[in-house]
Structure 1
Amino acid sequence: MTARAGRAAVPAVPGVITAEQIVETARSIAAVQESDGGVPWPEGHVDAWNHVECLMAMSVAGLTAEARKGYDWLARQQRDDGSWPMKVVRGEATERNGESNHAAYVAVGVWHELLVTGDEDFVHKMWPVVRKALDFVVDLQTARGEIVWERSASGLPAEYALLTCCSSIYQGLRCGVLLGEHLGERQPDWELAADRLGHVLSAHPEAFADKSRFSMDWYYPILGGALRGAGARERLEEEWDTFVVPGLGIRCVSDQPWVTGAESCELALALDAIGDSERALTVYRDMQHLRHQDGSYWTGWQFVNEAWFPNEQSAYTAAAVILAADALSGATPAAGLFREAGRYAIPVTDPDTCGCSQTSSRT
């Protein structure tokens, strides 16, 4: 995907959601943005990943000033090692460990903002932030290629990696490489790290802690771009009936009667990314029962008890709704962000013949 001057366009999905409703949803995100620029979870903390997702959504809907305020927050809150605290409450770190996927997603946000707005000055301003963040991420890569999920406040890396996190990191590394190329500052170390990570994601499930009850572990290798083609389609078919609830969306976890809006929209994005537009639209339409009258979205619905669960509207759910609408409608220059993430997907390799160690090793 080549960056080009942005154009003013707000997504609309005919028969599902209008451009006016998308703007209303974006304003529901802006309404919870704090005075310092942070976009919190309903319980009050800010983390860099969900914060960036909300900035991307506001930018898509034309709330550029609000998005830029959020990027200023990222620049201020970044630590010397390139990471962000796991949780920040009213400007103060309450959980000080740094997550690798939080840091990597900043590159996705900055690349997305360039695509939407074409603002070169913004990219030059944020490039040092992205560079420090991805260097932090790459430093947590194991000898085999997976990237462990956090570094403690005392500097110790975690002992394991997470599939969902690494899938998102893969996209972050690819966006970082694109940013470097755009600025004439190629980053071959990031490109190599992405190649190695892509191989592990496609061929070494044993590299990751077992979180298979979560639907994110099912579709994220596709959403992040590491898996494409027949392998992606087969992966989705394997657990389709486990997670998809017709007419409602998808489950957050396989063993609970609970559908969630953010996961449903992310699955729609993953389906769109592999060209399955019909099912993408169906899943997206099905989750719209979560829409609140003010344009925000309930986090989830417990369909046995018939109750909102949790009893909250979340900015990150609203953000996922907007990003999925953009992908399905092709409204902005960033609409293909998740499709393009798979441009360099690594072909699936037989793990018995690739020569990789079957055990994790940090060297």
Structure 2
Amino acid sequence: MTSPGRTERLVLPGVLTAEQAARTVAGIAATQRPDGSIPWFTGGHLDPWDHVEAAMALDAAGEHERAAAAYRWLAERQNPDGSWYAAYVDGEPTDRGRESNFCAYIAVGVWHHYLSTGDEAFLDTMWPHVFAAVEFVLSLALPGGQIAWRCGEDGDVPAEALLTGCSSIYQALRCALAAAEHREDPQPDWELATGALGHAITHHPERFLDKGRYSMDWYYPVLGGALRGPAAKARIESRWDEFVVPGLGARCVLPNPWVTGGESAELALALWAMGESDRAVEILRSIGHLRAEDGMYWTGYVFADDAVWPEEKTTWTAGALLLAVAALGGDEATTAVFEGGRLPVGLTGPADRCCGGAAGQLR
């Protein structure tokens, strides 16, 4: 088990003790396969986004070798076009579609790992993989700056974008630009694309599919860094009572009576990023009922039926909670990639600069 001494920044009164944090980290580590992959749960499938989120949680806990192994797994399985498939079981693809936000997220993880370790050799090794992934993602850009959500197995790219996915891509592009800047390897095309994507997120909601039933579409523009300041505050307040169930956490989708640990922890991270630490802690405390005896967290709870559902304890749920606690605890790498104040913003126009936050505000 991870030593409690390595999880000092994962202690949060009412949420995690050092011993509890160590058990949660150990639960993720126990699920990680010898090849470095981190499936949702033992015997389950892996998707590249959640794999990275779990690896970031391992880094926040000081398990840097395990995190590096997770990134090596990605490097070894990257497709020639820079992508990864949407799902794998035992290292073999089970969904050969390629989702843009899944492919982009390696940039967040690699930059987080570098900030956690200062390992220049790791960054040098992973840079070609980050570069190829970003180039693939930007090949799916649509005329309005938004990024198509998926490239099908047959290469078909529907002209459809998701606000949640694009908000995550926005964060990833900024982390990729930070890595490029650190390496003195400027990427002007990326800067343009980042600015255009941020503008689409903050000023053109009509460019995205209507997924307003999902809580992720509500808080992800804040979590991904496109919204800060009054614009972020206004967005969160606008639907708080719809999505937050006092004492239980955040709903995944309306009108279902179902709160989920991953969405709740991500909401807490978004609240922290916008300066609402007290409410972030309140949300994290509210999902204590999802914690299992082994230190992992159930994916969700149907409060109308008083039932855990699905009966899965997922690495990404535990990972999201650990990252939120790490940010609240001041872990420098985690705060850097989620607060975003030191990340490049790309090339933005006057409308973006005047409206608060990295890219502006939704209207």
Distance 1:47 1:154 in 2: 19
Which residue pairs with 1:4 in the alignment?
A: none
Offset, 1:10: 3.8
Q: Could you tell me how far 1:158 is from its partner in structure 2?
A: 2.2
Q: Do the aligned residues in 1 keep the contact of 2:232 with 2:361 (CA within 8 Å)?
A: no
CA-to-aligned-CA distance 1:309-331 (integer Å, 9 cap, x gap): 10111110000010000011113
**Counterparts of 1:221 and 1:39, CA distance in 2:** 26
Q: Deviations over 1:80-104 (max 9, x none)?
A: 0000011111111111111110111
1:278 equivalenced with 2:291 (yes/no): no
- Change in Cα spacing, 1:349 to 1:35, as seen in structure 2 (3 Å) is closer
With normalisation by structure 2, the TM-score equals 0.91
2:188 corresponds in structure 1 to 188
Q: Distance in 2 between matches of 1:25 and 1:163?
A: 31
Note the 1:121-136 alignment, pairs <5 A.
121-136=121-136
Secondary structure at the residue paired with 2:97?
Answer: strand
Give the AA of the match of 1:13: L
Q: Specify the alignment match of 2:223 in structure 1.
A: 223
**Contact preservation (8 Å) 2:204, 2:362:** no
State how far apart, in whole Å, the 1-side matches of 2:360 and 2:51 are. 32
Q: Does 2:293 align with 1:293?
A: yes
Do the aligned partners of residues 33 and 8 (structure 1) sit closer, same or farther apart at CA in structure 2, a change above 3 Å counting?
closer
Report the counterpart of residue 232 of structure 1 in structure 2: 232
For the 8 Å contact 1:166–1:197, the answer to whether it is kept is yes
Alignment partner of 1:88: what SS? strand
Deviation at 1:335, TM superposition (A): 2.8
Give the AA of the match of 2:137. Answer: V
- Is 1:32 equivalent to 2:31 in the alignment? yes
Shift of 1:75: 0.3
Q: In 2, are the aligned partners of 1:48 and 1:103 still within 8 Å (CA)?
A: yes
Aligned residue number for residue 67 of structure 2: 67
Q: Deviation of residue 169 (structure 1)?
A: 0.2
TM-score of the superposition, structure 1-length normalised? 0.91
Contact 2:144 2:200 in 1 (8 A): yes
Deviations, residues 90-131 of structure 1 (Å, cap 9, x unaligned): 111111111110111000000100111111111111000000
- What residue in structure 1 maps to residue 256 of structure 2? 256
Question: Which has the higher mean CA deviation after the structures are superposed, 103-112 or 336-345?
Answer: 336-345
**Shift in Å, 1:9:** 5.1
1-side partners of 2:97 and 2:301: how far apart? 31
AA at the equivalent of 2:10: P
Deviation at 1:341, TM superposition (A): 6.0
- Structure 1: which amino acid aligns with 2:213? R
Q: Kindly report which structure 2 residues correspond to 1:139-218, keeping only aligned pairs within 5 A, or say none.
A: 139-218=139-218
Q: Deviations over 1:314-360 (max 9, x none)?
A: 1100000100000111134433421116864122387xxxxxxxxxx
CA drift at 1:196: 0.3
Gaps of 5+ in 1: 1-6, 351-363
Q: Structure 1 residues 205 and 349, CA, compared in 2 at 3 Å: closer, same or farther?
A: closer
Q: Find the counterpart in structure 2 of residue 76 from structure 1.
A: 76
1:69 offset after TM fit, Å?
1.3
Amino acid of the structure 2 residue aligned with 1:137: V
Match for 2:361 among 335, 338, 348? Answer: 348
98-107 vs 11-20, which moves further: 11-20
Offset of 1:159 from its aligned partner?
2.3
Q: Which amino acid aligns with 2:23?
A: E
Deviation of the 1:154 alpha carbon:
2.2
Larger mean CA deviation between 256-265 and 148-157 belongs to 148-157
Aligned-pair CA distance for 1:63: 1.5
Write the letter of the residue equivalent to 1:32: T
| C-alpha displacement of 1:187 | 1.3
Please, which runs of 5 or more residues in structure 2 have no aligned partner?
1-5, 346-357
Deviation of the 1:249 alpha carbon: 0.6
Question: What is the total number of aligned residue pairs between the two structures?
Answer: 344
Cα distance change on mapping 1:342 and 1:306 into 2, 3 Å: farther
Q: Percent identity?
A: 51
Rounded to whole Å, the distance in 1 between the matches of 2:317 and 2:261 is 6
What is the rounded CA distance, in whole Å, between the counterparts of 2:270 and 2:341 in structure 1? 10
Partners of 1:226 and 1:342 within 8 A in 2: no
Partner of 2:100: 100
In 1, Cα distance between the equivalents of 2:360 and 2:91? 43
Alignment deviations for residues 237-271 of structure 1 (CA, whole Å, 9 cap, x no partner): 11000000111110001211110001001000101
Determine the C-alpha separation between the residues in 2 that align with 1:200 and 1:188: 18
**SS of structure 1 residue aligned to 2:250:** strand
Classify the secondary structure of the residue corresponding to 1:40: coil
Rounded Cα–Cα distance in structure 2 between residues aligned with 1:256 and 1:178: 39
Greater alpha carbon shift after TM alignment, 16-25 vs 204-213:
16-25
Q: Give the structure 1 partner of residue 89 of structure 2.
A: 89
* Structure 2 SS opposite 1:335: helix
CA distance in 2, matches of 1:21, 1:136: 40
CA distance in 1, matches of 2:250, 2:31: 26
- Further displaced range: 51-60 or 153-162: 153-162
* Whole-angstrom CA distance in 1 between matches of 2:341 and 2:49: 17
Structure 2 match to 1:110: 110
SS in 2 for 1:93: strand
- Alpha-carbon offset, residue 11 of structure 1: 2.0
Checking the alignment, whether the CA contact within 8 Å between 2:336 and 2:342 is kept in structure 1 is no
Structure 2 distance, partners of 1:236, 1:15, is 24
CA contact (8 A) 1:225 1:338 kept: yes
Letter in 1 for 2:360: P
Show CA shifts across 1:199-252 (max 9, x none).
Answer: 000011111111111100000000000111211111111100000011111000
Distance in structure 1 (CA, Å) of the matches to 2:160 and 2:326: 34
- Which residue in 2 is equivalent to 1:21? 20
